[in-house]
Structure 1
Amino acid sequence: MIVLTIAMVCGLYICSFCIKQISTRTNVGFSNFQVIKKPCEAPNIEPWEKVYVHYPKPKTYSRDECECNPVRYFAILSTQRSGSGWFETLLNSHTNISSNGEIFSVKVRRSNISTIVETLDKIYNLDWLTSASKNECTAAVGLKWMLNQGLMQHHEEIVEYFNSKGVSAIFLFRRNLLRRMISILANSYDQNAKLLNGTHKSHVHSSHEAEILARYKPTVNLTLLIPNLRQVEEMVAKALESFKSTRHIILYYEDIIKNRSKLIEVQDFLKVPQMDLKSRQVKIHKGSLSQRVENWDDIEKALKGTPYESFLHEDYKI
């Protein structure tokens, strides 16, 4: 009985020891096990281009199976009434492009460089949700930014941000600054008159609405005509000079109107698949420029013999 008791005690001891050993090894094995995600591999691109390829990780949602789809950052830099709204709708008709509109038209967002950077970070991280936002597989994301919306005021810091974050600039301007001026005057008038059933619209989607807005013919202040043209010309030149170190493309509204293959250049610039881009916007001021203002004869006299005389001539037909 004594021998049997000793054997049973020894057996229990040995069994408990083995169980502890197995338990310890199992715990160690599980505690050391980690799921290591394989980093996204950049597509076949040139070394210089790697800074422009990004893999955002939004805080508001998961990109799921698209998390390794590269995203390009861009900004449309323009001036009011230069066709930027129409151009942006063309880009947003592309399945893989999201341009989030005139974000910095809201003053608080451009109050200082800190708020500007905070806003840009949110946009480029795909956390800025607008009607232009696409799905998780967005390949190019950006915004529309007017030169007078804090862009030139903080241009040094913004250039540094663009270069460090890999943001490409798309410049869009109008060659005929006289047409732009007349468009601004007409749009400013409608802000108060609200010709479309008591509402103001900067852009329209029907020929009927376009015809109503086009009936108004502004009178150009001849005293301010040349100074205003010169001011815009200098502002555009300064912007091009300030952002020359960034990766950029320069476009003109008239060139896109005459040659839609320019849109292919833009898609190649953004490295997205080529698609037929479309817009629902309808042009408001068509035809001869002389029919769009009240004092055309006075404008002709004021601009003849000046560097802006070419603005008097038709630059495209539509």
Structure 2
Amino acid sequence: MSEDCCFLNKDALIVKAPKKSPLALRMVVLSVVMICGVYICSICLKQIGTQPNPRLMRAELVDIPCRDPRIPESELPYVHYPEPISYSRDECACTPVRLFVIVSMQRSGSGWFETLLNSHVNVSSHGEVFSNKERRSNMSSITKTLEKLYNLDWNSSASKNECTAAVGLKWMLNQGLVAHHKEIVEYFNRRGVSVIVLFRRNLLRRFVSILANSHDRDAKQLNGTHKAHVHSRNEADVLARFKPLINATDLIPSLSHMDRGSADALDYFKNTHHMLLYYEDLVSNHTKLIDVLEFLKLPPRKLFSRHVKIHTKPLSQQVENWDTIYNTLKGTQYERFLTADYQ
């Protein structure tokens, strides 16, 4: 009996530990993992905030424009690195581009001059872009058109596949240029546009050319088509046969109007980065073309044009009522136009 009592008392003294619940253990482990994860993430975020992001650094380097140390600081406002939307410049991305505009009046040699510029492999001059009335209807339309053109997104026959170094257009004074001259001059100065002003000294020859061109617009003397510019001597001779009959009464007022228009234009653009050219000088002095290339900072090239001059004879042989016109201008401020052609 005593042994049984002892045995019972021994079993009574043994206390077994209760089994732990698997769910509770899992919750503890999950809590520890979450706490460690939060701690590690906070440390990583602090490091990211204090260290430079390689991707951002690469983006900033791409945004830095190409800079040529050989370009003087005074020329930097006229140097541009366009990023066209319609295509990528690729290897030409670091080729600096000059923006220009040819300011002129009809029948002043601007068409011939522009073809000379376009014969340069690195020049794109897109013609009379603002002959379209909608593009010049207001300053907003003008700016939108210029931005597209100067961003190298304007497509025309003058567009080059080579690395463009100068891009521009031909702009006649009566194509919105005078009407919005203040805003346009401000735009030119802000965007760094170089202005080439091209006029004709002999306004009487210009007047004869205007009348002859107007006549051909109606007569269409070349196989039923009107051509403002020709590419053969035969075509030029056909157009030169017409001799206008000039209204002597209106002649001096007309020449005065032309003269005043030229003077006003020079005044409008005197505060821009510009150069003044005369058609007669371009014809008689080919070094003037070198001056133009230097003005646009373009590499020298031999320039050529397929245009053939139409009126080559003395004015006395190209005006129907020459004697009347001669007497009208004799003794006036325009007498010099009677004999001076390319002087």
- TM-score if structure 2 supplies the norm length? 0.83
Structure 2 partner of 1:175: 201
**1:102·1:143 contact (CA, 8 Å) conserved in 2?**
yes
Once structures 1 and 2 are overlaid, which stretch shifts more, 152-161 or 131-140?
131-140
Q: Aligned AA for 1:202?
A: A
Counterpart residue number, 2:73? 47
Residues 64 and 136 of structure 1 are in contact (CA less than 8 Å); yes or no, is this contact kept in structure 2? Answer: no
1:99 aligns with 2:99: no
Secondary structure of the 1:235 match is: helix
Residues 50 and 201 of structure 1, relative CA distance in 2, 3 Å threshold:
same
**Cα deviations across residues 245-294 of structure 1 (Å, max 9, x unaligned)?**
10000000000100011000000000000111000010111121111110
Q: Report whether the alignment pairs 1:275 with 2:301.
A: yes
The residue that corresponds to 2:113 in the other structure is: 87
* CA spacing shift, 1:43–1:179, aligned 2, 3 Å: farther
Deviation of the 1:49 alpha carbon: 1.5
2:216 is the counterpart of 1:194: no
> For the Cα contact (< 8 Å) 2:128–2:171, is it kept in 1?
yes
- TM-score w.r.t. the length of structure 1 is 0.89
* Aligned counterpart for 1:59 among listed residues 76, 81, 85: 85
Does the 8 Å CA contact 1:288/1:314 hold for their aligned counterparts?
Answer: no
Q: Is the 8 A contact 2:248 2:328 kept in 1?
A: yes
Q: Secondary structure at the match of 1:282?
A: coil
SS in 1 for 2:103: strand
Unaligned stretches of 5+ in structure 2? 1-32
Give the equivalent residue in structure 2 for 1:161. 187
Partner of residue 259, structure 2: 233
Of 283, 290, 300, which aligns to 2:316? 290
Of structures 1 and 2, the larger Rg is shown by: 2
Task: Indicate the residue corresponding to 2:30 in structure 1.
Answer: none
Aligned residues: 303
Shift of 1:32: 4.2
Q: Mind listing any 5+ residue stretches in structure 1 that lack a counterpart?
A: 1-13
What secondary structure is seen at the aligned counterpart in 2 of 1:293?
Answer: coil
Question: Hey, what does 1:8 align to over in structure 2?
Answer: none
Q: Percent identity?
A: 62
| Cα distance in structure 1, aligned partners of 2:327 and 2:158 | 45
Contact kept? 1:217, 1:292, Cα under 8 Å: yes
- One of 249, 255, 262 as aligned partner of 2:281: 255
**SS at 1:62's partner residue?**
coil
Q: SS at 1:132's partner residue?
A: coil
Amino acid at match of 1:64: D
Q: Secondary structure at the match of 1:217?
A: coil
Does structure 1 conserve the Cα–Cα contact (< 8 Å) formed by 2:202 and 2:340? no
Asked if the contact 2:122–2:162 (Cα under 8 Å) also holds between the matched residues in 1, the reply is no
Q: Is the 8 A contact 2:126 2:169 kept in 1?
A: yes
SS of aligned partner of 1:183: helix
Deviations 1:155-208 (A, max 9, x none): 000000000000010000000000000000000000010000000000000111
CA separation in 1, counterparts of 2:205 and 2:158?
28
- Are the structure 2 counterparts of residues 135 and 43 from structure 1 closer, same or farther at C-alpha, using a change threshold of 3 Å? farther
Alpha-carbon displacement from aligned partner over 1:199-250 (angstroms, at most 9, x marks no partner): 0000000111111111111111111100010001001100101111100000
Residue matched to 1:72: 98
